[in-house]
Amino acid sequence: MLVCCHKQISGNREFATRNRALQAGFTILELITVVAILTVLMALLLPAIAATRESARRIQCTNQLRQIGIALHEYHELNRTLPSGLQWEETGQSAYGWTVPLLSFLEQSAIENEVHTELPLQNALNQTACSESISSLLCPSDITQETFLLFHEVEATQTMLPLIDLPTASYVGVFGTLEADDDYPVPKGDGTFLDSDPVRFSELRRGLSNTIIVGERKMETVPSTWLGVQALGEDAPCRLVGSAMTSPNCSECDECEFTSRHAGGVNFLWGDGHVKLIGNGIHTNLYRELSQRNPGH
């Protein structure tokens, strides 16, 4: 009899333990509710996290442009002029970009030593420079590759011949309201970084604080570079300078225009060294005037 009672008590205890375990677990309805709550929280948090990250990237891009501005002012103080947009070597086969003379001011002296501006860009001595990606010249918001292949378009046969690999850059000088196309000689721009003519700050008649001199271009629009281009390259001058003809991020505009992945506009460096985003909705006439050395002439 005692054995029977003991077994019954043990059974009751075991049943109670199992019952408590079942009660402590989740029901299917509770589990579905928790998953739904977590999904909603993730949907709310992810955009906020993405926005925070983009804000940090935009600040970094702004700081990089500001450093370029400091370098340009230091260069101007030393040379009494800004570097020209395209600097042709004596054979005329290639031109070096306005950023090359700034490398030492941007703490890139080691790379500057690899650039031989007295020789054509395609010379073997420039091979190392052609593979040098400079992170401070790449907008962190853009989707880029470190280098890109410049092609030569043969119009007679409609074929593209590879010319040279070039390091990618996100920042191009303001050529003005004209397209720096690949007709030679390159047309005379009305901005700050022209073909081979250097410009002084005193020539910016609208005032340094009211003139844009460097802007962004995303790689998707057309790959750009800090180093230089071969004259035969497709849209060669536009790889170094850009045009303010319509509006920032214009969807159906020329590839030489300014674009970015920042929401609402494009970051620009202004003549006095400050950096400010110009919105996509700016009036075309004002946008063009801001890019010109001497608006109205």
Local confidence pLDDT in tens for the 297 residues of the chain:
444 444 444 445 554 455 554 455 568 877 787 777 777 777 776 665 556 688 899 999 999 999 999 999 999 999 999 999 999 999 999 999 999 999 999 999 999 999 999 999 999 999 999 999 999 999 999 999 999 999 998 877 778 899 999 999 999 999 999 998 777 788 889 999 999 999 999 999 999 999 999 999 999 999 999 999 999 999 999 999 999 999 999 988 889 999 999 999 999 999 999 999 999 999 999 999 999 999 876
Burial readout 182-209 (b: 16 or more C-beta within 10 A, e: otherwise): beeebbebbbbbbbeebbebeebebeee
> What's the pLDDT at 207?
97
Q: Which amino acid is at 221?
A: T
Q: How far apart are CA 293 and CA 210, in angstroms?
A: 10
Token pair 């030393």 in the structure block, residue: 78
> What's the pLDDT at 26?
62
> What's the pLDDT at 9?
45
> What's the pLDDT at 31?
75
The residue among 107, 235, 223 whose CA lies nearest residue 171 is 223
CA distances to 8, 14, 20, 189 from 25, rounded to whole Å, are 26, 17, 9, 74
Residues 6+ apart with CB under 8 A from 76: 82, 200, 201
CA distances to 74, 93, 96 from 169, rounded to whole Å, are 21, 21, 14
CA distances to 36, 118, 170, 219, 236 from 145, rounded to whole Å, are 39, 28, 11, 8, 18
Does the reported pTM lie above 0.85?
Answer: no
Token pair 């910016």 in the structure block, residue: 204
Tokens of 215: 């802007």
Tokens of 288: 């063009």
